Structure 1
Amino acid sequence: MAGARSSGNFDSMPSATPPTTRSRTTKETLAPQVTAGVVTALVGFTSSFAVVLAGLKAVGADQGQASSGLLALTLTFGAGILWLSWRTRMPVTLAWSTPGAALLATAGMVDGGWPAAVGAFLMVGVLIVLTGLIPSLGKLMAKIPTALAQAMLAGVLLPLCLAPFKSLGTAPALIAPVLLCWIVLTKFAPRWSVPASLLVALAVIGIHIVSSGVQIPAESLLPRLEWTTPIFSVEAAIGLALPLFVVTMASQNIPGVAVLKSFGYTTPWRPSMLVTGAGTVIGAPFGGHAINLAALSAALAAGEEAGKDHGRRWIAAFVSGWAYLVLAAASAALVTVVAAAPPGLLEAVAGLALLGTLAASISSALAVAEERIPACITFLLAASGIAFAGVGAAFWALAGGIVIRWVLKDREPRNVA
């Protein structure tokens, strides 16, 4: 694991921005960092919050609990970004686990309902903390074949990514404008394709609310945290917590390390795991499923758009943390408006948001010829939605893929002397 050797001591981390440089910082020189930070937050939040809502509702959250979960996630990783970027002087950004939310959307309710799902979220946070404290656990995670982890993710994403096209057949007047906007922006401004599609969807929802006379209570627009006492069960641990942990680590944390490395930064692995793990534990009773290192949006704060001065790009991450905290205040209003959406519209936006991740997962899963058969079986098991003993398809997909991989590898012809 690329960042597993990073020091966990904040005081030992060199400051990327010398004090003399910081004292000369002016309003003009901060413009690129401030702009990049705000864009990072806007893109990160708007491009996937629909996936988070779909996931939380699928495992039993009502509207208030889903709103609380979205708020808890945004608050915890926003605060985590502020802490990590300030202490490390590196553009470390965090996010909610979008692949994890997609997994929740396809896993459905576990035995025990929403409280059991919250218990699973809490277990994920503990596992992430242990990953930061125990190097061997990180090494164990790294031993999970990349092809199988990506195939499992692709299988989980497939039903969600089919939603826009299924909805297009049942409600073309509602879905077509969203899909058309996404296609045009993917061509000319890919970064803004999903946020722009969301704006079109919100416009469609607004028209629907006005035309149907739906009444929205004013109190539902105010952000509010709702406590849920967690319930712990073996089924939730195996069927929800373990797959959620694996997906979060393999599809968010490890790629997040790679993104920062591509821009010349060494991720502070242990502090990052401790902060995201603790944040997940704190947010879990309020409905937050998992927070982690940002992957795709991390490039916005760490790249050239955050300024030419490599040592000042941490400011972009710091600004994004504050921007996320501002966006948290709008979370309840978004959930309330989305709750009034016509059937299929939210799922369509979530599916469009995940198409890029699906394509990347399939490509990674099939990249190595020797891994293709186990990866295909893993993909099909995950996409099938099969469940045994109350344990969902994601666990059985990964377990089945590992078994098939071992069987096929054992059957390889041996050289005879």
Structure 2
Amino acid sequence: MTSTNSSPSARDAGAAVDDGHTDDEHIADGVLESDRLIERGPGPRESIRSLRRSLNISSVGAGVVSAVFGCTGPALIIVDGADSAGLTPGQTVAWISAVYVVGGLISFIMGLYYKQPIVGAWSIPAAALVVSSLESYSLAEMIGAYLVASVLVLVLGLTGWVRVLVAWIPMPILMAMIGGVLIRYAVNVVDATAAAPIVVAAALLGYVLLSRFVRQVPGVVGALVFGVAAVLITGGMDSSGNGFTWVTPELTAPEWNLFAMLGVGIPLALVIQAENIQSMGVLIAEGYRPPVNSITVISGAASLAVAWMGGHNASIAGPMTAICGSPEAGRLRRDRYASVLVNGTIFVTFGLFASVAVTLVTTLPAALITALAGLAMLGVLLTAFRGAFATSTFRLGALVAMIIGLANVTILGISAPFWALLGGLLVSLLLEFDDFRRPQGATDQEKEAA
């Protein structure tokens, strides 16, 4: 069985030799005193002291790309859903402002304290669940359900149960879930190419040129620059909107509907925690030891604040954490935390000027955003699949987890990461039970001897 933050293991040893640096130089890659309820990290003083070195073109580029991804398509999910539910413009702006401002603050808190690329945001599957539920319940009743979900997630963190849960999940199954869930972003690049061949071709060209000839700069930065240039040259900006308008956020008091609290609140808590576990897996795949309990606690606590402002629950964003934690964000893992500070700055600014910002992001073509997200995932996917199938254990469970994650299935309002983990675990328990008795860090010969 695995342990994401227990005693030193093979994974921690890998962190110690990354890029030829010592364990002391990589102390920020780990979590200190992980047996504490709230794991201790290097602290903001250490992060601020090394920020000048860590804030480079790679970390800035990854932070911008992840923020562009988070502020475009996902924002439109909220806008479209709020419009379909008949919310007022003030309620819509309050929703968007809450999730982006609080998400950005989470990035600052976690990035500075733990010196890890932990990106605060909100769950896209949770937003989809909320949008569909608004057909049956009022916004006030949904806010009551948000608060119930927030308390459930907070209890999961404060009791330490989440640490036991994550520690028990076999690493190959967790990595396969990450690969299955995230691979669709890479696959979508093909569809984006068909939809906007010139723009995406320019982005791909920028990615290849920088990856091949300017390796100090991540390829995704070249994709962003070349892609935007192609959009401007071809006139691909959507200027069909009605211009910029300022809308004052409108707060809504919660109402307590038992059916909404049970039918939406409980599934929403599961969706949020599935997103958090996905993000933890992304960090583990990149060689970090994420603060499992702290991630859950801050998600629950921040969700309480977001709910009172009219937004749905906060979480750690899997895709954006993948972008900010990947090699595209910097050759050294210890420097990648700076990318979440860039992301957090853009998120907070986006949230504060939500009514104007939403109009702005709708001018960017969706195909370019899709291409950028897919290219940014390539390194993470390679790492995830190596972790899923490099050993002889849990292979069938990992394969099933990958398939379910790839299918992107949603059942009872709960998204794919949860079902991928559950399906992979059930298959391994039924057909690969002996693998649970073998040490995960052992070689194949040692496992056979065991």
TM-score of the alignment, normalized to the shorter chain, above 0.5: yes
Q: What displacement does 1:258 show?
A: 8.2
CA–CA distance in 2 between the matches of 1:67 and 1:353? 29
Q: What displacement does 1:408 show?
A: 0.5
Q: What displacement does 1:371 show?
A: 1.3
Aligned to 1:309: none
CA–CA distance in 2 between the matches of 1:197 and 1:373? 36
Q: Deviations over 1:116-165 (max 9, x none)?
A: 99788766644553344112332122212232233223222233321111
Instruction: State the Cα RMSD in Å.
Output: 5.0
Specify the SS of the correspondent of 1:286: coil
Higher relative contact order (CA 8 A, sep 6+): 1
Query: Which of these residues, 52, 76, 80, is aligned with residue 102 of structure 2?
Result: 76
Matches within 5 A, 1:74-223: 74-80=100-106, 91=115, 94-96=118-120, 100-101=123-124, 110-112=132-134, 125-187=150-212, 188-189=214-215, 192-206=218-232, 214-219=240-245
In structure 2, give the amino acid aligned to 1:280: S
Q: What displacement does 1:84 show?
A: 6.4
Q: Deviations over 1:347-375 (max 9, x none)?
A: 33332333333332222222332212111
Structure 1 unaligned blocks of 5 or more = 19-28, 262-266, 307-312
In structure 2, give the amino acid aligned to 1:248: N
| Cα distance change, pair 356–55 in 1 and its aligned pair in 2 (3 A) | farther
Q: What displacement does 1:402 show?
A: 1.6
CA–CA distance in 2 between the matches of 1:387 and 1:314? 32
- Whether 2:423 is the aligned partner of 1:400: answer yes
Aligned to 2:62: 43
Q: Deviations over 1:67-108 (max 9, x none)?
A: 76664444224434655688x6x646641358x54x569989
For the 8 Å contact 2:120–2:316, the answer to whether it is kept is: yes
- Whether 2:402 is the aligned partner of 1:409: answer no
For the 8 Å contact 1:81–1:94, the answer to whether it is kept is: yes
For the 8 Å contact 1:56–1:104, the answer to whether it is kept is: no
In structure 1, give the amino acid aligned to 2:424: G
Structure 2 unaligned blocks of 5 or more = 6-30, 84-88, 438-447
In structure 2, give the amino acid aligned to 1:177: A
For the 8 Å contact 2:276–2:296, the answer to whether it is kept is: no
CA–CA distance in 1 between the matches of 2:402 and 2:240? 41
CA–CA distance in 1 between the matches of 2:67 and 2:142? 20
CA–CA distance in 2 between the matches of 1:316 and 1:54? 20
Aligned to 1:310: none
User: When the two structures are superposed, what TM-score results if normalisation uses the length of structure 2?
Assistant: 0.64
CA–CA distance in 2 between the matches of 1:376 and 1:291? 25
| Cα distance change, pair 172–238 in 1 and its aligned pair in 2 (3 A) | farther
For the 8 Å contact 1:157–1:354, the answer to whether it is kept is: yes
For the 8 Å contact 1:106–1:385, the answer to whether it is kept is: no
| Cα distance change, pair 119–46 in 1 and its aligned pair in 2 (3 A) | farther
Q: What displacement does 1:406 show?
A: 0.9
Aligned to 1:22: none
User: When the two structures are superposed, what TM-score results if normalisation uses the length of structure 1?
Assistant: 0.68
| Cα distance change, pair 233–152 in 1 and its aligned pair in 2 (3 A) | farther
CA–CA distance in 1 between the matches of 2:407 and 2:333? 42
CA–CA distance in 2 between the matches of 1:348 and 1:315? 23
Q: How many residues align?
A: 383
Q: Deviations over 1:36-82 (max 9, x none)?
A: 35865663243354156434545764587887666444422443465
Report the identity percentage.
20
